[in-house]
């Protein structure tokens, strides 16, 4: 009988150990890829003017960060992204709410938005240059346009998907329109809003990459375009890495916010 008891006692400590091992194994393949890349660059299999070694990219990053260049460009890019996202995002939420909640809003706002959605917004660059010039306005407009559509459609769908029976029940509790919005509509649409925000941030970064390659004087995109002219491949790859990291960080941030705000969904999963 002792043989059956012993494994049952030993079982609990093995569970966390297995979990950490699993997380660690997920790092193996990216690391192997990096090592292979490094080796291929060092041995000359990859020509250095086409693809620099990862160590060289890291070194360049360190050098540019040390002399403050990187911070300036990064801050400029971030500012553009935030302003663009702020304008496009708030416009999207307000218009989507109006379209989803009011019949007149649905009739007037939704058709033109649906039509505009069919335009690839990055194809608007020539027209935007004519309208707003090639300065900051162009970059911000592009980010705003890029982030508008995913947030608009997800907010609209999120509000429309709210169970009508919940709205009715809340009304019988004596809630007025404003309270309905606050206690039922907003929390009900929040999961979709977060999804929209994540997609909007992705689209915003993409728009910024394109926008910063049009006559910018600062920003990560400018850094890359300038480096291309001098064939500094390491700086170009560094720019790509930074764009990727920015996307990753913003996604992690939103997911953290989502987890904090949507605790009731965790309760749902826990049962």
Give contact residues for other proteins (rule: CB under 8 A): 165-166, 168-175, 179, 183-184, 187-188, 190, 262, 264, 267-268, 270-271
- Output the CA torsion 15→16→22→27 (10° steps): -170
CB of 184 to other proteins, least distance (A): 7
What three-state secondary structure class fits 218?
coil
Shortest Cβ distance from residue 251 to other proteins (Å)? 23
Q: Which two tokens stand for residue 234?
A: 């390491």
CB nearer to other proteins: pick between 16 and 174: 174
CA 60 to chain centre: 26
Question: Residue 263 Cβ, how far from other proteins at the closest point, in Å?
Answer: 8
**Cβ distance to other proteins smaller for residue 157 or 166:** 166
Closest separation in Å from C-beta 173 to other proteins: 4
Shorter beta-carbon distance to other proteins: residue 29 or 172: 172
Comparing CA positions, the residue from 93, 87, 83, 195 lying closest to residue 152 is: 93
Both structure tokens of 56 = 């060289």
Q: Which residues contact 213 (CB under 8 A, 6 or more apart)?
A: 221, 222, 224, 225
Comparison of 6 and 271: residue with beta carbon closer to other proteins: 271
Contact status, residue 184 vs residue 162, Cβ threshold 8 Å: yes
Min separation Cβ 44 and other proteins, Å = 59
**DSSP-assigned letter for residue 163:** -
Q: How many CB atoms lie within 10 A of CB 44?
A: 8
Residue whose token pair is 């007037």: 108
Nearer to other proteins by Cβ, of 175 and 181: the residue is 175
């Amino acid at each position: 009988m002792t043989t059956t008891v012993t494994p049952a006692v030993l079982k609990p400590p093995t569970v966390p150990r297995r979990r950490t091992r699993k997380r660690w194994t997920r790092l193996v393949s990216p690391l192997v890829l990096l090592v292979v890349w490094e080796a291929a660059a060092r041995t000359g299999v990859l020509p250095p003017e086409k693809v620099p070694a990862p160590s060289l990219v890291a070194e360049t990053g360190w050098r540019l960060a040390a002399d403050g260049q990187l911070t300036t460009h990064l801050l400029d890019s971030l500012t553009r992204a935030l302003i663009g996202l702020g304008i496009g995002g708030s416009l999207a939420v307000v218009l989507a709410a109006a379209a989803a909640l009011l019949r007149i809003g649905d009739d007037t706002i939704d058709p033109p938005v649906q039509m505009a959605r069919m335009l690839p917004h990055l194809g608007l660059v020539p027209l935007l240059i004519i309208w707003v010039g090639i300065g900051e306005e162009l970059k911000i407009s592009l980010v705003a346009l890029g982030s508008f559509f995913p947030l608009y459609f997800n907010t609209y769908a999120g509000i429309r998907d709210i169970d009508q029976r919940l709205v009715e029940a809340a009304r019988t509790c004596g809630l007025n329109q404003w309270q309905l919005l606050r206690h039922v509509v907003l929390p009900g649409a929040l999961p979709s809003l977060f999804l929209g925000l994540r997609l909007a941030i992705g689209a915003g970064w993409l728009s910024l990459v394109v926008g910063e390659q049009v006559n910018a004087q600062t920003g990560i995109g400018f850094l890359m375009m300038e480096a291309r002219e001098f064939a500094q491949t390491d700086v170009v790859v560094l720019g790509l890495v930074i764009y990727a990291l920015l996307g990753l960080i913003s996604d992690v941030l939103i997911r953290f916010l989502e987890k904090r705000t949507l605790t009731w969904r965790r309760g749902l999963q826990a049962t």
